[in-house]
Amino acid sequence: MQKKTEQIHNASMQILERVGIKIHHREILDLLIKNNIKVTGETVFFSRDQVMARVAEAPQKFTLHARNSEYDMNIGGDNTEYGAGYGCPAIIGPDGKRRNARFDDYLNFLKLVHQCEHFKLNGGILVQPEELRPDHVHAVMTYAALRYSDKALLGMSGRAKDVQKIMDLAGIVFGGMEQLIKKPRVLTLVNTLSPLQIDAAALDTIKVCTCYRQPVIISPGPMAGATGPVTLAGNIALGNAEALAGIAICQMLQPGTPVVYGLQAASSDLKTAGITIGTPDFVLEASWCARMAKYYQLPCRGGGCSSDAQILSVQSGYESMLQMFAACQEKINLILHAAGILDGYGAMSYEKFFVDLEIIGMIRHYLKGVRVDEDSLALDTIAQVGPGGEYLTCRHTLENCRKIPWQPEISARNLQHGSDFNAQILMNIQTKKKKMLSGYHHPDLDFDIKTRLDKYLADLGIGLGFMK
């Protein structure tokens, strides 16, 4: 394994030294030149020593601080945290019908994520609402995330003026910009542009986030056979080169800024050139994301309950289970797209969101392993029951029955023969969804802070009619 890791690392170094990476941002190019990095036009050539010296400046782990400290996230080491879906423009219903996502959907998912015990991270682009004006998206969605949840905040990438709005709103909530700079508060996902490019919006995002010392996920997504080599090793090496270049730029802008190594390499359906994320190849690449991150001693992001299926189905189930199980086994630090994804990142599904929560719960229970101690060995109980007895009514069973066996929340059990199994599961999902939404309550927010948040949006010309 170590030999393969070093082979991929060496291939990435050769890519950065010989092929280079295009940087579509004049200020960043000037910064690179100032740091004695070779630049030809817009193409940048890092030497091995230059890139690795910068990567070494990034912390091995960090804490993302939430408004409610109960939800602070330790990112790094062997700890695993989860984030729900991200970036989908559509909603798919249980019947497979597709519609554009609306702001009401965004608010619903904010509430559901806030209610769910598996998530400490909220916000970002849970879905992309169709009715929001492009120049209002960052401010409105961040405002809503801060109002509807006090969990750790996921930001959004974009041009500098838009990302600055996120920082301004976070500054209001966390006591001003000077206080914001002191701790990681906003985690932002930045994608490179494969093959071997970083565009202006991504670099603007990096520039603003590092200015406030806020952590960034550098997340290349080369597609094997389309925007990267068809062979997995080549695709991983190319994506790894992009990730290392992005991390190096972060450290040049602000040494010590927390970064998350977020290679999310995928494959292509070579019949259509479309992305495929429901395959063993995708899972293998996610596993190598974790291994490369640990090689560089960096926190990592990857995996998820993603699927190529276009409807909640057996396919969406087995694809998602494989991905999430592998991600948890590899101890990926931040598993995004952990719940709700269908159609190759193209859509969110409320129903699949709850199926994925069930998957996460099952895997977390499994990875706890078997507890072995005096009580769990139950020797006194075994002696009491003896040969041919029963354990259903004994005291030991009654004391442990509600806390030991894993209990499903949406799975269908003990139905009469001939019952509609799938209909029962969908009914269980709807019951849980209604319970979580009806049980939601706004987290406390200081009146003065809310007033200042409202004023910030008003000064941008944004009314509050969109809020429920």
Distance CA(291)–CA(7), nearest Å, equals 13
Beta-sheet strand order (sheet of 259-261)? 121-123, 152-154, 186-191, 216-219, 259-261
Query: Which residue type occupies 182?
Result: K
Give the count of alpha carbons within 13 A of 201, CB side only: 11
Cβ(152)–Cβ(120) below 8 Å: yes
- 407 band by pLDDT with thresholds 50, 70 and 90: confident
Least confident of 142-146, 295-299, 418-422, 453-457: 418-422
Superfamily of domain 57-367: Trimethylamine methyltransferase-like (3.20.20.480)
**Residue 363 has what pLDDT?**
96
**Residue 303 has what pLDDT?**
83
Averaged pLDDT of the chain:
95
- Residue 9 reports pLDDT greater than 70: yes
> What pTM did the predictor assign?
0.95
- 419 band by pLDDT with thresholds 50, 70 and 90: confident
**Residue 115 has what pLDDT?**
98
CA dihedral (387, 393, 395, 399) positive or negative: positive
**pLDDT tens for residues 56-108?**
999 999 999 999 999 999 999 999 999 999 999 999 999 999 999 999 999 99
Q: Residue 274: phi, psi to the nearest 5? A: -85, 160
**Residue 468 has what pLDDT?**
63
Least confident of 27-41, 344-358, 396-410: 396-410
**pLDDT tens for residues 187-244?**
999 999 999 999 999 999 999 999 999 999 999 999 999 999 999 999 999 999 999 9
Query: Which residue type occupies 363?
Result: I
- Residue 1 reports pLDDT greater than 90: no
Least confident of 116-120, 271-275, 331-335, 395-399: 271-275
**pLDDT over 70, % of the chain:** 100
- Residue 448 reports pLDDT greater than 80: yes
Query: Where in the chain are the domains?
Result: 2-54, 57-367
**Residue 269 has what pLDDT?**
87
- Residue 404 reports pLDDT greater than 90: no
- CB count within 10 Å of CB 413 equals 7
**pLDDT tens for residues 253-308?**
999 999 999 999 998 988 888 899 999 999 999 999 999 999 999 999 998 999 99
**pLDDT over 90, % of the chain:** 90
